[in-house]
Amino acid sequence: MKSISTKLASLLLAAGFLPAAYAVNDLPGGPAVRQLNLHEAVTRIAAEQSWLHWFMLITCFVIFVAVFGVMFYSIWKHRKSVGHPPAAFHESVTVEVAWTIVPFLIVIGMALPATKVLVASKDTSNSDLTIKATGYQWKWGYDYINGEGAGIGFLSTLDPTHREMSNEGAKDVPDDYLLKVDNPLVVPVNKKIRIITTANDVIHAWGVPSFGVKQDAIPGFVRDTWFRAEKTGDFYGQCYELCGKEHAYMPIHVKVLAAADYTAWVADQQKKIAAKADDPGKVWTMADITARGEKVYSGTCAACHQANGKGAGPILPLDGSAIVNDADKNKQIQVVLNGRGAMPAWKGQLSDTDIAAAITYTKNHWSNHTGQLVQPAEVLAQRGK
């Protein structure tokens, strides 16, 4: 039977692999090996949540031990095999009232501290910084809207080598496996950060366990949450709402910096923005633009079309594609700008330069040798058409 051999195979696998315990260390700010409890709290809210959890755990455990102590005692003593005869009683209003009222009071006792923490966790007023976190399939985008750093915006994507490692079966992975991004979210310590969540496509969720924060990112809607990190360091989270095939591959990395370091980072970012501002009128050489295109492709397109350009299943290949090899460049430009079928529109997410670069790369890579060069100005001209 198929299921038996599958299980046997897996059992053998287990027997072979179990001795070789996974050699990975705790990740500070992220999960620990064999972690038993919640993350160490970095915000006051997380500390309160942790307290609440201990309170619940201990209360429930005490009740559990009491109730099942009684049950196991009964199993031991009130058995036919030790000669215990059955009693005749089978109702008691007093007892029923008692064990309705007592749990009711216990539940009220649990609800009161929970109310306090919940109300505090929802109060996003008077924040020092406001950052919008946008969920994309499959990465996060951060835009600093208000406060020190306003105007900075970038995408935060899982390191592509980690994604490759996953495909290869995750041998010898680093401690931040599946949690490393190219551009972490950077925030100052001890400041109230309001995070506005939204999404570009489907529902995602932005959550960082160390902060005690989780909020759904819903397309077409804005939600918010807040945190005040009381320690500097690196803290990790993941996407917490099923959002498609790469749901496991869009982590969150928050870097909490001391005030002075944060100011320095902001200044640095603003300089980079100024320098990087792509002039859509710039005329690129083939070598430069394909180098740029390779980066854009591997960071954005390869998730679906694969690094080898061959796609998979319903995702069409680019290697040998008629549209890619078409003499009319506008055909491919239109598809990338406006999407087609399940392929999303990239006009809102990628700049003209990035789109031109990625297209030029695909037109001159693998078995495609069109020799065509798409300039950013050509992409700009196709917008709105």
Partner 1 sequence: MSAVLPGHADDHAHDDHHDHAPTGWRRWVYATNHKDIGTLYLLFAFAMLMIGGLLAMMIRAELFEPGLQFFNPELFNQLTTMHGLIMVFGAIMPAFVGFANWMIPLEIGAPDMAFARMNNLSFWLLIPAAIMLVASFFMPGGAPAAGWTIYAPLTLQMGPSMDMAIFALHVLGASSIMGSINIIVTILNMRAPGMTLMKMPLFVWTWLITAYLLIAVMPVLAGAITMTLTDRHFGTTFFNPAGGGDPVMFQHIFWFFGHPEVYIMILPAFGIISQVVPAFARKKLFGYSSMVYAVASIAILSFIVWAHHMFTTGMPVQGQLFFMYATMLIAVPTAVKIFNWIATMWQGSMTFETPMLFAVGFIFVFTMGGFTGLILAMAPIDLLLQDTYYVVAHFHYVLVAGSLYAMFAGFYYWSPKWTGVMYNERAGKIHFWNSLIAFNVTFFPMHFLGLAGMPRRYADYPAQFTDFNMLASVGAFWFGLTQVYFLFFVLLPVLRGKGEKAPQKPWEGAEGLEWEVPSPAPFHTFETPPKLNAAATRIIG
DSSP string spanning 196-243? EEEESSS-EEEEEGGGTEEEEE-BT--EEEEEE--S-EEEEEEE-S--
The residue from 122, 271, 272, 369 that contacts partner 1 (CB under 8 A) is 122
User: Quick one: tokens of 44?
Assistant: 């006051």
**Candidate segments 128-136, 170-178, 186-194, 288-296, binder of partner 1 by CB under 8 A:** 170-178
| Comparison of 105 and 275: residue with beta carbon closer to partner 1 | 105
Q: How far is CA 293 from the centre of its chain?
A: 26
* Angle of the 44-77 helix axis to the 93-122 helix axis, nearest 10: 160
**Candidate segments 12-20, 254-262, 281-289, 367-375, binder of partner 1 by CB under 8 A:** 12-20
The residue from 58, 151, 161, 168 that contacts partner 1 (CB under 8 A) is 168
**Whole-number minimum distance, CB 127 to partner 1, in Å?**
16
Structural contact between residues 368 and 319, judged by C-beta atoms closer than 8 angstroms: yes
| Comparison of 171 and 276: residue with beta carbon closer to partner 1 | 171
Burial 239-274 (b: 16+ CB within 10 A, else e): bbbebeebbebbbbbbbbbeeeebeebbeebeeeee
**Whole-number minimum distance, CB 103 to partner 1, in Å?**
4
**Candidate segments 94-102, 141-149, 294-302, 320-328, binder of partner 1 by CB under 8 A:** 94-102
The residue from 29, 39, 139, 195 that contacts partner 1 (CB under 8 A) is 39
Does 164 contact partner 1 by CB under 8 A?
no
Burial of 31 (0-12, 13-18, 19+ CB in 10 A): middle
| Comparison of 148 and 234: residue with beta carbon closer to partner 1 | 234
Q: How far apart are CA 354 and CA 359, in angstroms?
A: 9
| Comparison of 168 and 268: residue with beta carbon closer to partner 1 | 168
The CA-based angle 143-144-147, given to 5 degrees, is: 165
| Comparison of 219 and 320: residue with beta carbon closer to partner 1 | 219
Q: How far apart are the first and last CA of the chain?
A: 58
Does 370 contact partner 1 by CB under 8 A?
no
| 243-302: contacts with partner 1 (CB under 8 A) | 243-249
Does 169 contact partner 1 by CB under 8 A?
yes
| Comparison of 61 and 271: residue with beta carbon closer to partner 1 | 61
| 177-236: contacts with partner 1 (CB under 8 A) | 177-179, 197, 201-203, 205, 207, 209, 212-216, 218-221, 223-224, 236
**Candidate segments 45-53, 127-135, 316-324, 366-374, binder of partner 1 by CB under 8 A:** 45-53
**Whole-number minimum distance, CB 232 to partner 1, in Å?**
20
| 54-93: contacts with partner 1 (CB under 8 A) | 56-57, 60, 63-64, 67-68, 70-71, 74-75, 78-81, 84-92
Structural contact between residues 38 and 244, judged by C-beta atoms closer than 8 angstroms: no
Does 12 contact partner 1 by CB under 8 A?
no
Contacts of residue 85, defined as CB under 8 A and 6 or more positions apart, other chains included, come to none
Does 316 contact partner 1 by CB under 8 A?
no
**Candidate segments 36-44, 181-189, 288-296, 368-376, binder of partner 1 by CB under 8 A:** 36-44
Contacts of residue 87, defined as CB under 8 A and 6 or more positions apart, other chains included, come to none
Q: Which long-range contacts (CB under 8 A, 24 or more apart) does 266-270 make?
A: 266/148, 266/149, 266/152, 269/149, 269/152, 270/151, 270/152
Q: How far apart are CA 133 and CA 211, in angstroms?
A: 15
Number of residues that bind partner 1 (CB under 8 A): 122
Does 21 contact partner 1 by CB under 8 A?
yes
Does 11 contact partner 1 by CB under 8 A?
yes
The residue from 44, 240, 317, 326 that contacts partner 1 (CB under 8 A) is 240
Q: How far apart are CA 360 and CA 301, in angstroms?
A: 13
Q: How far apart are CA 111 and CA 123, in angstroms?
A: 19
**Candidate segments 15-23, 318-326, 329-337, 358-366, binder of partner 1 by CB under 8 A:** 15-23
Measure Cα distances from 174 to 22, 134, 235, 238 in Å: 11, 27, 16, 17
**Whole-number minimum distance, CB 381 to partner 1, in Å?**
26
Q: Is the dihedral of CA 362, 364, 368, 371 positive or negative?
A: positive
